[in-house]
Amino acid sequence: MSAYDRIVTYDRDVQQLRANLSSVLQRGFFFVNVGASDGVISDPIYTTWSGYAASRFKYTAGVWHRARQEVWWSMTSTGSTHDTILCFNYKHNKWSVFTGMAAEAIATVETANDIDQLLFGTGSASDGKLYIADSGNSDNAAAIASTYQTGWFALEATMEASGRYVTMFLKRAANYNLTFTPYRNFDTATAIVDANNTSQAQNIALLSGTYPDTYFPDASDQLCTIQLSADGHHFSFRLNASTTAAQWECYGGFVRGHLVRPAGVFI
């Protein structure tokens, strides 16, 4: 293994990844392409990482997850031990956060079959174990809660508030439940309610072999449609799963009105 294949940590917490350089500095996270201009990639999550324990920044552990085209940083959101993974997917230019993984040290190692796997240690003197950051749909049989939320977006002014459809393309590979919650006007504490004070949150039961149903038109179609009654100037949609089940994916989505053609794409 060459020096360029290793995660190298310097005094200023720089991780070198082949021709790419990702680093943790006082200004945030950087992704630097050799021969190209530098760029701060952490601005979209500034309010997240800037609130973490600054005294622990120097202990930030970074690792390249080559198979997923991601870079992971283990950090301390509060307290004196790492408890959070900040993940940057450089293929899709997206950030995600995983909480509960106490990875004080993390590294990529190869199996006997030359397959990369991520190992981490908690740093606890009473633990003394190495853990595998593997793929799956449970954490030692416990459910893994997952959430995706869109940014805030506005809809066409001509799209009637009382009649809108949210259409998503959802993967249906196994049985699991997905909660869809819409928010409006920059308020993420309260789900949208209609004129009758009925919550517009929906529970989408992705159960194999039970289609057609309220959301899916037939058994082979991944097109999910939700009727939404909502007024407001800006909207945000959240998808959440908190049961031990198969992985779920949303490939895209858009909003359309009952009577007019303009659509607002949110994913």
How far apart (Å, rounded) are the C-alpha atoms in residues 79 and 143? 25
Model pLDDT for residues 153-170, shown as the tens digit of each residue: 887 666 555 567 888 888
What pLDDT sits at residue 183?
92
| pLDDT tens-place string over residues 8-35 | 333 333 444 433 444 444 556 666 554 4
Tokens, residue 242: 């908190």
Residue 153 sits at the vertex; the CA angle it makes with 231 and 43, to the nearest 5 degrees, is 145
Would you say 74 and 61 are in contact if contact means Cβ atoms under 8 Å apart? yes
Q: What is the pLDDT of residue 174?
A: 64
Nearest CA to 25 among 35, 17, 33, 15?
15
What percent of the chain shows pLDDT beyond 90? Answer: 4
Over residues 39-90, the pLDDT tens digits come to: 677 777 888 888 899 898 888 888 888 878 888 999 999 988 898 999 888 8
Residues in Cβ contact with 136 at an 8 Å cutoff, skipping those fewer than 6 apart: none
The predicted pLDDT at position 140 comes to 66
Alpha-carbon span 5 to 133, nearest angstrom? 19
